[in-house]
Structure 1
Amino acid sequence: MKNIKMYREQDQVMRFLMGLNDAYAMVRSQILMMEPFPSFSKVFSLVVQQERQNGLNVLDDGQVSVNMAERTTFYNQEKLASTHKYCTYCGRIGHTVETCQGTWFSTGIKAKGV
């Protein structure tokens, strides 16, 4: 009875592995070489792990373009926000009197965030 159960589980594992596409060829061959033959839950977890690794490393060109566009937009917004600041102490753009290094040096009082 135990042999029949083990045979059925091995058969399920084999059917599952043969149903995978070519992206899983490496993990499939590694699983087939394991001794003793792994359980279905072990095989499934190995395939899911491989899928996660593939999903993190493989991006289509459109997704990469979107990510770069979002990153550039964020950088430009941050740069634009800093150019709207004007220091009334030194007259420079990009900071305010609260964070001006000139007030810290002349008064001896530390500016905010320094």
Structure 2
Amino acid sequence: METNGSNSNSNENQPSDASNIDRREKLTEKEVFINHAEVAWQERRREWVGDQSQKSQRAPREPIMSWTTTYEDLLLSTEPFQEPIPLAEMVDFLVNIWQEEGLYD
């Protein structure tokens, strides 16, 4: 019977399941999880990508490099371009050259 008495004492010291649930609900109401890493990532992404609403309003630009420009023209020229070449335009140019030479499938 002593073991029953010690068990009943240990049960009295432990809170009931209902009070545990009440405590959890109060904690979740008070504490709001903020993912600071995601917030920082979204801010960096916004800086990198820019305002998407303005991008759709821009008119397409004319390519900076001529369609007749060859790979050799780029390699042999020491003069800088008048304005920076967008990455997408340079990638398209290189892919076209590599496809012509059979280096890109």
- TM bin, normalised by shorter chain, reads 0.3 to 0.5
Bigger relative contact order (CA 8 A; separation at least 6): 2
Which of the pair has more CA radius of gyration? 2
TM-score by length of 1: 0.35
Which of the two has greater helix per residue?
1
